[in-house]
Amino acid sequence: MPAIHKLPEVLINQIAAGEVVERPASVLKELLENSLDAGSRAVEVALLQGGVKQLRISDDGCGIERDDLALALERHATSKIASLEDLEAVGTMGFRGEALAAIASVARTRVTSRATGAAHAWRVTEREREPVPAALNAGTVIEVEDLYYNTPARRKFLKSEGTEFGHCDDVFRRIALARPDVGFQLSHNGRVSLRLAAGDAQRRVREVLGDDFMAHCRAVTAESGALRLTGFAALPAYARANRDAQFFYVNGRFVRDKLIQHALREAYADILHGARHPAFVLFLDMDPAGVDVNVHPAKTEVRFREGRAIHQFVFHGLSRALAAPVQAAAVPPDASRAVEIPAYAGPTEQTRLAVEEPAAARFTWQGGAGASTPTAPRASHGAWSDAPPRAGGFPAAAMPPPALPDGAAGAPLGYAVGQIHGVYVLAQNAHGLVLVDMHAAHERILYEQLKHVLDGTPGVQRLLIPAVFNASRIELATAEEHAETLLRMGFDVAAAGPAELAVRSVPALLGRANVADLLHALLAELRDFPASEVIAARRNELLATMACHGAVRANRQLTLPEMNALLRDMEATERADQCNHGRPTWTQLSMTELDRLFMRGQ
């Protein structure tokens, strides 16, 4: 073996560059972060050939003093920390003092800067470290050319111009999302591709992720002690086939962290279809002392001092926002076009009929049994309902109120006007037309209500005459093995013969379900599962099966009061915006969209 010797400075930097400068996009990340650390209000990026040929960034930050310029290109030279205490409470993006040194070791690099108060600017390059006078109004311009010109092995790993530009664009958006207070511009081969004016967070998110994202998302705000979670999370209707609309920041720094990813996935687990990926822009702000950002040179990994607490906080904060009933949605659909709902002019033919002849209703709305929606008592004249009929037997909330000064506040989903082909409910709200998939919506409501049932003692409905149906041998065995689980869910099931099962009670919420179908489905779910594990492990699948069977079927004629009761229940139910399979339960067609259909005002 040769003798041990010290490596030359340039080689040391090139080795470091292997970790920090993977491709043009990583150069861009480092330079953008430097500009932000310098307090810039406007940052301009110009790329040539995907950033490989040239990457130029100009800012209006504090600049670098003449005598510091050469130092800025040296390894382990930084203005951002001076001690271990500083490191542990670091508030800047950079602190390692190695990015510029690494970049300058693998690309031609030129730094021109004018420190605040300086008479003119100065310039250094990776070769010429003695500053020379230069012209620049303010701030700093850094030009990086011919990336990897001196390390051909690395250059080979660069991809096509389009791919490298794509990565640069990603990095640019990522950083721009976190700093809506700063103006940004990105251009490629002389053409501006993205221009973002300084503004507020919502505007920035809309400009970077688009109207579609904004229309499908919930505002998130959670706070606990020094922890704060803010931002926007899309509902499943906007879910993607990949992860590229996922932005999570810790103290303004974009990170990919296993613990956080797990918490986010859990928060979406209940509403998102398995193969889809959620979309979100979320900012976790916390005491910098509680998180270690010095885990990897690229700083996209972090280590939390209190991982469990952070996990819980993020999970609950996001779950709550996603579950919030409709009226809590903070991002109003097309608010500019909101219209007043005309004053109610007395019952229509149809509602009057329903008022006078409640018994004529073919379908009884009994979801919730009043418990979750104290303001919306509803008709309980169904043959199978346990709840005593209310005075008048008519749901108060189902009646359109005499006038609607503010339609959105009272009934976000509006008031029903009719039903289409026994599948969709049409309603009018402040923004226009609301379309509801009534089976999907009812299924979701039942699912949420059943959850509460499993957590406590189920409201049970005893059947006057037990429902007896044919069952296979395996079904009989399953029913026997899981008798206790079934009882906990509200089903009193026992063998009634060698090939028959008898059901004596069902959960009150499922009074309308076809008992035999429901039991066949449940027993199929329970089969092959140890009784001890079933409730814990399959709880949600069981609930989903029950909800699906209990929910109102298509082709059922609803009265207007029943439809309105459904709308009110949706508003009061957590996660009512999507069914258990992650499909939306309702959608809004705004007046603008309706107008567009008829080319009104064009």
Ligand X SMILES: Nc1ncnc2c1ncn2[C@@H]1O[C@H](COP(=O)(O)OP(=O)(O)OP(=O)(O)O)[C@@H](O)[C@H]1O
- Residues lying near ligand X in the complex (CB under 6 A) are found at 30, 34-35, 38, 59, 61-64, 72, 78-80, 94-101, 140
Which entry of Mg ion, ligand X, none binds 62, CB below 5 to 8 A by partner kind?
ligand X
Shortest distance, CB of residue 527 to ligand X, whole angstroms?
Answer: 57
Which entry of Mg ion, ligand X, none binds 166, CB below 5 to 8 A by partner kind?
none
In degrees to the nearest 10, what's the CA dihedral of 504, 507, 512, 516?
Answer: -50
Which entry of ligand X, Mg ion, none binds 35, CB below 5 to 8 A by partner kind?
ligand X
Shortest distance, CB of residue 525 to Mg ion, whole angstroms?
Answer: 55
Which entry of ligand X, Mg ion, none binds 63, CB below 5 to 8 A by partner kind?
ligand X
Identity of the residue, 104 or 430, whose beta carbon is nearer to Mg ion in the bound complex:
104
Residue nearest to ligand X (CB): 94
Which entry of Mg ion, ligand X, none binds 506, CB below 5 to 8 A by partner kind?
none
Shortest distance, CB of residue 118 to ligand X, whole angstroms?
Answer: 12
Shortest distance, CB of residue 164 to ligand X, whole angstroms?
Answer: 21
What are residue 376's DSSP bridge partners?
A: none
Identity of the residue, 182 or 264, whose beta carbon is nearer to ligand X in the bound complex:
182
150 Cβ contact list (under 8 Å, min separation 6) = 106
Identity of the residue, 28 or 209, whose beta carbon is nearer to Mg ion in the bound complex:
28
Rule CB under 5 A: which residues touch Mg ion? 34, 94, 99
Three-state SS across 366-397? CHHHHCCCCCCCCCCCCCCCCCCCCHHHCCHH
Beta strands of 366-491 (E only): which ranges? 415-420, 424-429, 432-437, 460-470
Identity of the residue, 80 or 583, whose beta carbon is nearer to ligand X in the bound complex:
80
Shortest distance, CB of residue 24 to ligand X, whole angstroms?
Answer: 16
The phi, psi pair for 156, rounded to 5°, reads -60, -25
Shortest distance, CB of residue 38 to Mg ion, whole angstroms?
Answer: 10
Which entry of ligand X, Mg ion, none binds 425, CB below 5 to 8 A by partner kind?
none
In degrees to the nearest 10, what's the CA dihedral of 316, 319, 324, 326?
Answer: 160
Identity of the residue, 30 or 562, whose beta carbon is nearer to Mg ion in the bound complex:
30
**Can you tell me which residue has the tokens 């990994």?**
301
Contact 545, 513 (CB under 8 A): no
Dist CA 381 CA 374 (whole Å): 18
Identity of the residue, 97 or 466, whose beta carbon is nearer to Mg ion in the bound complex:
97
Which entry of Mg ion, ligand X, none binds 78, CB below 5 to 8 A by partner kind?
ligand X
The CA-atom distances, in angstroms, between 539 and each of 518, 544, 574, 579 are 15, 9, 18, 16
Shortest distance, CB of residue 208 to Mg ion, whole angstroms?
Answer: 23
Shortest distance, CB of residue 57 to Mg ion, whole angstroms?
Answer: 12
Shortest distance, CB of residue 25 to ligand X, whole angstroms?
Answer: 15
Identity of the residue, 70 or 516, whose beta carbon is nearer to ligand X in the bound complex:
70
Burial of 233 (0-12, 13-18, 19+ CB in 10 A): buried
Contact 404, 344 (CB under 8 A): yes
Which entry of Mg ion, ligand X, none binds 96, CB below 5 to 8 A by partner kind?
ligand X
What are residue 420's DSSP bridge partners?
A: 424
Contact 398, 306 (CB under 8 A): no
Contact 481, 573 (CB under 8 A): no
Which entry of ligand X, Mg ion, none binds 80, CB below 5 to 8 A by partner kind?
ligand X
Identity of the residue, 109 or 419, whose beta carbon is nearer to Mg ion in the bound complex:
109
Identity of the residue, 30 or 562, whose beta carbon is nearer to ligand X in the bound complex:
30
Report the phi/psi class of residue 440: left, alpha or beta, with left for phi > 0 and alpha for psi in -120 to 50: alpha
What are residue 192's DSSP bridge partners?
A: 187
